[in-house]
């Protein structure tokens, strides 16, 4: 069979890598892809923006048996609907279902209807009412831009002046784009974060093993939020009992609440959680594989991922059981200096082949220039290593990173620190 992956980042490189291992797959395409993806798939210079006519026509012409969507933007814009209307098989949620990530307000309403534990919140569509609320709400508070913002639309504030400045950035400076859909201001939840991704076929929910992302740019979880600087799996904060609570109290009620609205959720549902003394509460939902979580989760999955995705599309996920190896996986992101702010591109990358002997190297923001691979994004590479212990996986990942060089390379030195410190 032929498979088409949509996207160009580290998540998509991981998906291509895993899909290519399936004995059922004869050929993999990726649109648009990147230099790392190009080693396992044929990259396509095709637009993946509405109305999706070119990519749909390619899939029809090449008789693509399964399309797999990586990033959130095409999902929110309706690429799944376009493929299904053309009679093509595609893995991912519809435009309506993808609102679980594309609209904070929509996700909040679904959680409220499903009685899913979440943070208390208030919604605002203009600056002055939001400012008045900030003047009196408990601190710290969390400000969330309602629409998609590339993982950068969430900020935590312990200072009212800083919170008001962030609101001005959103409503007046429009740093995340059109602010007409407003913001959500939430209470600050305390505890330990975890990411639980689940395969969903509209009825059955099949959770994957939990991971923990590291959002902040600097060691010790300091500094501004990023798209994710690293992750590890499994995350011990989600033990067997907690995983069952997450399935029963969060994932299944959410899918059921969507179904009551007539929305059949198919694909991956990602629950970003805060695990506190009262149990799990939802920080956010995403409508796709997390990045970099997927780079730590999929290398541990023993199933043929194409079999699982087919079961999702066909609505027979209840027949599947996920199998996991006994190893620990850790992914460390190598970023460009200045990220998540301004950063330079076009820096030559050295040492990839040497590092690849010790770890999996997933390309996130890379490109070809003058016959060599160069940086082309804020998050440039994801370096994933596996070990019998998390400490061993961490040592392997950082040893591989030590062989990679580009001007301005930056990465956190403490990925996995919470799990490694649990026994201390």
- Helix axes 252-260 and 104-113, enclosed angle (nearest 10): 100
> From CA 150, how far away is CA 286, in angstroms rounded?
11
Instruction: Read off the pTM.
Output: 0.95
Architecture of domain 191-319: 2-Layer Sandwich (3.30)
Please report which residue ranges of 20-94 form alpha helices under DSSP H.
53-61, 72-76, 79-85
Instruction: List per-residue pLDDT tens for the chain, 424 residues long.
Output: 999 999 999 999 999 999 999 999 999 999 999 999 999 999 999 999 999 999 999 999 999 999 999 999 999 999 999 999 999 999 999 999 999 999 999 999 999 999 999 999 999 999 999 999 999 999 999 999 999 887 778 899 999 999 999 999 999 999 999 999 999 999 999 999 999 999 999 999 999 999 999 999 999 999 988 999 999 999 999 999 999 999 999 999 999 999 999 999 999 999 999 999 989 999 999 999 999 999 999 999 999 999 999 999 999 999 999 999 999 999 999 999 999 999 999 999 999 999 999 999 999 999 999 999 999 999 999 999 999 999 999 999 999 999 999 999 999 999 999 999 876 5
Q: Which residue has the tokens 């892809």?
A: 33
Handedness of CA 24, 9, 365, 359 (dihedral sign): negative
User: Is residue 387 within a helix (H) or strand (E), and if so which, with residue range?
Assistant: strand 379-387
> From CA 78, how far away is CA 64, in angstroms rounded?
19
What is the CATH number assigned to the segment(s) 124-181? 3.30.1490
Q: Which residue has the tokens 């900030």?
A: 134
The domain locations on the chain are 2-91, 124-181, 191-319, 328-420
Domain 328-420 CATH (choose: 3.40.50.970, 2.40.50.140, 3.30.70.330, 3.90.600.10): 3.90.600.10
Show the tokens assigned to 402. Answer: 């030590």
What is the CATH number assigned to the segment(s) 2-91? 3.40.50.20
Straight-line distance from the first to the last Cα atom of the chain, in angstroms, rounded to the nearest whole number: 50
Q: What is the pLDDT of residue 268?
A: 98
Q: What is the largest CA-CA distance in the chain?
A: 60
Show the tokens assigned to 167. Answer: 């609101």
- Helix axes 10-19 and 305-314, enclosed angle (nearest 10): 100
Q: What is the pLDDT of residue 336?
A: 98
């Amino acid at each position: 069979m032929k498979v088409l992956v949509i996207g160009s980042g580290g998540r998509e490189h991981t998906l291509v890598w895993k899909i290519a291992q399936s004995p059922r797959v004869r050929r993999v395409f990726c649109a648009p892809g990147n230099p790392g993806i190009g080693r396992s798939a044929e990259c396509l210079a095709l637009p993946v923006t509405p109305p999706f006519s070119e990519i749909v026509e390619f899939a029809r012409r090449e008789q693509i048996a399964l399309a797999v969507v990586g990033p959130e933007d095409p999902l929110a814009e309706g690429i799944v609907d376009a493929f299904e209307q053309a009679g093509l098989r595609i893995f991912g949620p519809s435009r309506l279902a993808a609102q679980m990530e594309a609209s904070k307000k929509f996700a909040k309403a679904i959680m409220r209807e499903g009685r899913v534990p979440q943070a208390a919140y208030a919604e605002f569509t203009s600056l002055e009412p939001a400012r008045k609320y900030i003047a009196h709400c408990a601190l710290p508070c969390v400000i969330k831009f309602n629409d998609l913002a590339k993982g950068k639309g969430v900020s935590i504030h312990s200072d009212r002046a800083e919170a008001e400045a962030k609101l001005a950035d959103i409503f007046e400076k429009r740093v995340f784009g059109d602010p007409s859909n407003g913001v959500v201001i939430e209470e600050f939840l305390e505890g330990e974060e975890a990411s639980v991704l689940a395969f969903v076929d509209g009825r059955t929910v099949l959770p994957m093993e939990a991971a923990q992302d590291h959002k902040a740019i600097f060691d010790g979880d300091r500094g501004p939020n990023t798209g994710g600087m690293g992750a590890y799996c499994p995350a011990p904060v989600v033990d067997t009992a907690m995983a069952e609570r997450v399935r029963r109290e969060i994932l299944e009620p959410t899918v059921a609440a969507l179904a009551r609205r007539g929305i059949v959720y198919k694909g991956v549902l990602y629950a970003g959680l805060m695990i506190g003394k009262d149990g799990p509460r939802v920080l956010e939902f995403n409508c796709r594989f997390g990045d970099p979580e997927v780079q730590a989760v999929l290398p541990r999955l023993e199933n043929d991922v194409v079999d699982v995705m087919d079961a999702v599309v066909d609505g027979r996920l209840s027949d599947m059981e996920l199998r996991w190896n006994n190893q620990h996986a850790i992914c460390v992101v190598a970023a460009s200096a200045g990220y998540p702010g301004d950063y330079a591109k076009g820096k030559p990358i050295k040492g990839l082949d040497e590092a690849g002997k010790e770890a999996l190297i997933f390309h996130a923001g890379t490109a070809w220039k003058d016959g060599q691979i160069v940086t082309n994004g804020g998050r440039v590479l994801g370096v994933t290593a596996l070990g019998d212990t998390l400490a061993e996986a961490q040592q392997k990942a950082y040893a591989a990173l030590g062989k990679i060089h580009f001007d301005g390379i930056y990465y956190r030195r403490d990925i996995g620190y919470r799990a490694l410190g649990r026994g201390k």
